[in-house]
């Protein structure tokens, strides 16, 4: 008897799981949609919606139900089996049923929907007029407008400063190349004509300047380059980095042991540059005849929220540990080692390599840390997400997430 009353109720009824699978409907809803109710069971509830209704449910209704477990007087449009649009009014309740979360809904067809919508618009305007006349809200609005203008001024200033910095970067990295090339050319020519000791110092200084300009070019490139994320094989780009390294150093200077690193989504050129600089530092700051380097790889989960307290979204990360047995460094300086032009040791290096590594890690929503033991070892630890989609970086602006 109760089942018959449920089937013949003067409203459509439907229940579905969180994945959208329908598990219960009544005959009234089947009659409204002109579909046998048994044929509806097992289908996805979104198959009953028009496209605009699907979008509304995905972006508003379903999230609302997960937050407050109920919704009332929601206007939707259903799609009958013969393609007719059916405006309905919906009430919904999300609850636990037999250890699973379900959403139960009742539908009432409202052919006078337009009239109701006009009444809602009129009510909204009335409410807005009432709010605009509220003295406190007017004061808040004025304060907000003042802050908005101030923010606009600050944003214009920042934009202007960014343009000036961009121009300065181009001057430093491009306009210096030609005079530097001539300095190197004439220095080499003079070295062939005279054997003065100062010539060797001059040549060394010119090469150092060339290294600085090259490093700045790479830094500017990382700021301006549009990140091109794709599936990257880390083992392959390590080999590419080693090939580049052997063009500048003897191959026997590096002894590398590494795990199978795997793959992740990233910018291949940037990641190769990062690994090149890590290996290059190991070779430059070795304490013996060769640099012994170990690269370890671990898959783990990390919270994607780092700045917002109390929020959690655990994503898959690759943790890379690059350890060498070189001269190391005092861990007191581990927070300064990634600063631009920061040198902890005299001799080779311009203090650019690890700054570039930090920039690249930031471009991949990653984290980079350093630890050292003076005279014993240096370990650079990098966490990189397997997928950039979790951080909304597929179309991110270059450099926008640098820490």
For residue 339, what pLDDT is reported?
80
Judgement on whether residues 139 and 174 belong to the same structural domain of the protein: yes
Reading the block at residue 9, the tokens are 């109720």
Nearest to 11 by CA among 90, 85, 107: 107
254-258 and 291-303 beta bridge pairing: parallel
Mean pLDDT, consecutive 10-residue stretches, the chain (403 aa), reads: 81 91 90 89 91 92 91 89 88 90 90 74 80 71 84 78 64 63 68 67 67 66 74 93 87 88 90 91 87 92 76 87 90 82 62 83 89 91 86 46 38
Angle, nearest 10°, between helix axes 353-363 and 268-284?
150
* 102 and 35 in a common domain: yes
pLDDT of residue 398: 40
pLDDT of residue 399: 38
What's the pLDDT score for residue 396?
41
- pLDDT tens readout for residues 327-374: 888 888 888 888 876 666 655 656 677 888 888 888 888 999 999 899
Let me know whether 32 and 77 are in one domain. Answer: yes
What pLDDT is attached to residue 400?
Answer: 36
Total domains, the chain:
3
Of the candidates 293, 278, 271, which has an alpha carbon nearest to the alpha carbon of residue 380? 278
> What does the pLDDT read at residue 177?
64
pLDDT in the model for residue 251: 77
Q: Are residues 361 and 284 in the same domain?
A: yes
Q: Which of 224, 241, 266 is the last residue of a domain?
A: 224
Same domain, 253 and 399: yes
- Are the CB atoms for 212 and 352 separated by under 8 Å? yes
The two structure tokens encoding residue 267: 């910018």
Domain hosting 312: range is 229-403
pLDDT value of residue 344: 65
Q: Which residue has the tokens 């062939």?
A: 192
Residues 240 and 309 in one domain: yes
- List, edge to edge, every strand of the sheet that includes 377-385: 254-258, 291-303, 314-324, 377-385, 367-373
Residues 206 and 264 occupy one common structural domain? no
177, 208, 224 — which closes off a domain?
Answer: 224
Q: Choose one of 180, 207, 224: the last residue of a domain.
A: 224
pTM for this model (two decimals): 0.50
The whole-number pLDDT of residue 14 equals: 92
Taking alpha carbons only, the member of 276, 285, 313, 271 closest to residue 372 is 285
Distance (Å, rounded) from C-alpha 121 to C-alpha 260?
61
């Amino acid at each position: 008897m109760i089942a018959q009353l449920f089937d013949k109720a003067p409203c459509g009824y439907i229940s579905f799981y969180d994945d959208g699978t329908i598990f219960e409907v009544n005959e009234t809803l089947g009659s409204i949609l002109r579909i046998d109710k048994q044929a509806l069971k097992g289908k996805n509830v979104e198959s009953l919606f028009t496209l605009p209704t699907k979008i509304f449910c995905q972006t508003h209704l379903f999230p609302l139900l997960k937050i407050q477990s109920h919704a009332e007087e929601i206007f939707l449009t259903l799609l009958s089996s013969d393609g007719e649009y059916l405006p309905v009014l919906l009430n919904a309740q999300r609850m636990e049923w037999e250890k699973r979360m379900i959403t139960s809904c009742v539908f009432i067809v409202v052919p006078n929907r337009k009239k109701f919508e006009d009444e809602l618009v009129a009510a909204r305007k009335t409410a807005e007029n009432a709010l605009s006349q509220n003295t406190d809200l007017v004061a808040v609005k004025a304060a907000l407008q003042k802050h908005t203008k101030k923010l606009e001024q600050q944003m214009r200033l920042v934009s202007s400063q960014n343009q000036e910095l961009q121009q300065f970067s181009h001057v430093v990295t491009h306009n210096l190349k030609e005079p530097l090339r001539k300095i190197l050319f004439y220095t080499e020519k003079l070295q062939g004509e005279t054997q003065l000791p100062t010539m060797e110092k001059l040549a060394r200084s010119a090469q150092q300047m060339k290294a600085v300009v090259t490093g700045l070019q790479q830094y500017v490139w990382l700021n301006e380059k549009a990140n091109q994320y794709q599936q990257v094989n880390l083992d392959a780009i390590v080999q590419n980095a080693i090939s580049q390294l052997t063009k500048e150093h003897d191959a026997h200077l590096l002894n590398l042991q590494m795990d199978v690193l795997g793959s992740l989504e990233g910018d291949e050129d940037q990641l190769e540059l990062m690994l090149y600089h890590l290996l290059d530092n190991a070779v430059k700051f070795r304490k013996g005849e060769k640099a012994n380097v170990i690269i370890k790889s671990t898959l783990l989960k990390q919270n994607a929220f780092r700045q917002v307290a109390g929020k959690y979204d655990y994503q898959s990360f690759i943790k890379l540990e690059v350890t060498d047995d070189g001269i190391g460094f005092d861990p007191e300086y581990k927070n300064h080692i990634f600063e631009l032009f920061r040198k902890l040791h005299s001799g080779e290096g311009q203090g650019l390599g690890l700054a570039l590594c930090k920039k690249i890690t930031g471009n991949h929503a990653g984290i980079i840390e350093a630890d050292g033991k003076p005279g014993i070892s240096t370990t650079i630890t990098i966490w990189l997400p397997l997928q950039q989609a979790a951080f909304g970086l597929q179309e991110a602006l270059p450099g926008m997430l640098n820490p």
